[in-house]
Amino acid sequence: MTNSSRLRHSNIVQLYDTFDEKQNVYLVMELVTGGELFDRIVAKGSFTECDASILMRQVLEAAAFMHENGVVHRDLKPENLLYYDQTEDSKIMISDFGLSKIEESGVMATACGTPGYVAPEVLQQKPYGKAVDIWSIGVITYILLCGYPPFYDENDANLFAQIIRGEYEFDSPYWDEISESAKDFISHLMCCDPEQRYTCHQALAHPWISGDTAGTKDIHCLVASHLKINLAKRNWKKAYNATTVIRQLQMLRLSSQAASTSTND
């Protein structure tokens, strides 16, 4: 609550007040009525790379403001990106700061987030910082341009292993019409090494965001058809418990070590 209330930005849902009772806490939030990001895109009649670029510029500007104020969201995902109202040119808003944290010491260690959007360093139980939000923005951008996630597996341990290794592709034919600039932009955001990953300001300076390299071809049919299929999948909307994730990763390592020992024998 404190993190949200300290952030006054046109693309961040505002927390106006709180009221406490014995068993309840009531939050007075800014009214946002435009609906979730992907739901609106599915309902649109057209959608282009240029549209995606405009959306992600707003998200990056809000994230840059958060980071400048020492706040890391830690759970950026489509469900937390809301349109302000129902108008065609509505701005996008970042919401739900329930997992956000002030980066006081420069690093954090608690595993949290949502499968499919969480950065490799979180899953590796390494200290992490603002760069985890950039990774999530890269994943969201990827999905915006094709309609399906870069990482997916019904088994969480396999999913996390994919993310840790950074195993994703710009698959043909779905990415054939997407610009090389868009792919380059995503690659800089979804870089496994957080030290090499773009900052918000570097991302905002990329030609796909600040220039005119974003494509203008209508990709709505392809994106919307994939979104309709994938939005219902379990791993997209399931929050996970950090202890469970760590246990699954440990089991994955033990399984790998056992297989290696068996091979050597």
89 is annotated as an active-site residue = no
The sign of the CA dihedral 85, 134, 165, 101 is negative
Given this model, what pLDDT does residue 235 score?
44
Active-site annotation holder among 51, 75, 133, 156 = 75
Residue 91 maps to a domain: yes
Residue 257 corresponds to which tokens in the numbers above? 């070590």
Residue 108 corresponds to which tokens in the numbers above? 């954090």
Distances (CA, A) of 203 to 129, 188, 250: 17, 8, 34
Given this model, what pLDDT does residue 214 score?
97
Residue 246 maps to a domain: yes
What's the average model confidence in pLDDT over 173-192? 97
- Higher pLDDT pick, 211 / 18: 211
**CATH code for the domain in which residue 163 is found:** 1.10.510.10
Strands 25-29, 15-20: pairing kind: antiparallel
Please give the model's pTM, rounded to 2 decimal places.
Answer: 0.85
What's the average model confidence in pLDDT over 151-174? 91
Given this model, what pLDDT does residue 1 score?
47
The pLDDT confidence band at residue 9, using thresholds 50, 70 and 90, is: confident
pLDDT at position 140 over 90: yes
CA distance 260 to 265: 9
For the ranges 70-74, 148-152, 183-187, 225-229, the lowest mean pLDDT is seen at 70-74
How many separate domains does the chain show? 1
pLDDT tens digits, residue range 209-261?
A: 999 999 999 999 999 999 988 776 644 445 454 455 666 666 666 665 565 55
For the ranges 70-74, 141-145, 183-187, 243-247, the lowest mean pLDDT is seen at 243-247
Residue 16 maps to a domain: no
Residue 12 maps to a domain: no
What's the average model confidence in pLDDT over 107-127? 75
The pLDDT confidence band at residue 95, using thresholds 50, 70 and 90, is: confident
Nearest to 142 by CA among 176, 95, 189: 189
Residue 5 maps to a domain: no
Residue 51 maps to a domain: yes
Residue 4 maps to a domain: no
Contact residues for 256 (Cβ-Cβ < 8 A; gap 6+): none
What is the span of the domain harbouring residue 149? Answer: 35-256
pLDDT tens digits, residue range 29-88?
A: 888 899 999 999 999 989 999 999 999 999 999 999 999 988 888 889 988 999 999 999
Average model confidence (pLDDT) for the chain?
Answer: 84
Given this model, what pLDDT does residue 264 score?
57
Residue 24 maps to a domain: no
The pLDDT confidence band at residue 127, using thresholds 50, 70 and 90, is: confident
